[in-house]
Structure 1
Amino acid sequence: WDRYMRCDGSPDPVNQREINTYISLRQEDTTRDDAACVFEDSLMDLQLVKELEFLLLNSPLDLMSEEERHVHQQTIDTLRGLILSKLDMATLRVLCEATYLAHKETGNLEYTACIDDIDLCIWGNIMKNP
């Protein structure tokens, strides 16, 4: 009931159709590959991972089959892979804009973005100074 009342558009992680659709749409969406959007979307991904982990840890063994446990664990792994993939794309976008983001005097790229559980820190010697 709490999930229904949340009304945030997040899928029910127990419903395989919803979670698979969500993952597919996130993988295909290339319009939200900048760091700010990736971090925002990753918060929901992390919440889904936490919900699934809670479900796996707190469900009695007789209420969930081994196959269901395996499917939920695969979903957790897929969501974690999705987060890493999206962070890689955000990193690529930062590196593609490195000359514009570099410090004017030193020529070094120093980029940091943080949210609750994720930090993205990039340093680069753009001007090749010793």
Structure 2
Amino acid sequence: MVAGHSGCHYEMERMLLQEVEEKRRTVEERVEQRMTKVQKQRKALRALFEGEEHRLSELRIVLLGWSRSGKSSAGNTILGREEFESGIRTAQCVKRQGEVAGRQVTVVDTPGWWSTSSVKDT
């Protein structure tokens, strides 16, 4: 392989490689922590509803999250039809309603949070 590149080769700086590896490990640890937290929350919710029939006649959902995270698409999936415009920025809150599995569902799509700004400022 070295001969194919006129005898030259590339080496990564060890410090840069260590830095990238450390960032990767940090991200993996955060992912694991989030997954554990979500699993605990799901388990707690299931325990609350276990053995009881909780059927709400109406459901209201507000979609929150980062910009371009799929909130509009999630709203369309929930309602089972294209109600929110996907692929473009949602500038202001949009409310849509429909019937899903025999109950009235209201979904509110909100503008996304910008990763370069604090949540308070978006």
Structure number having the greater strand percentage: 2
TM-score normalised per structure 1: 0.30
Instruction: Compare the two structures and name the one with the higher helix fraction.
Output: 1
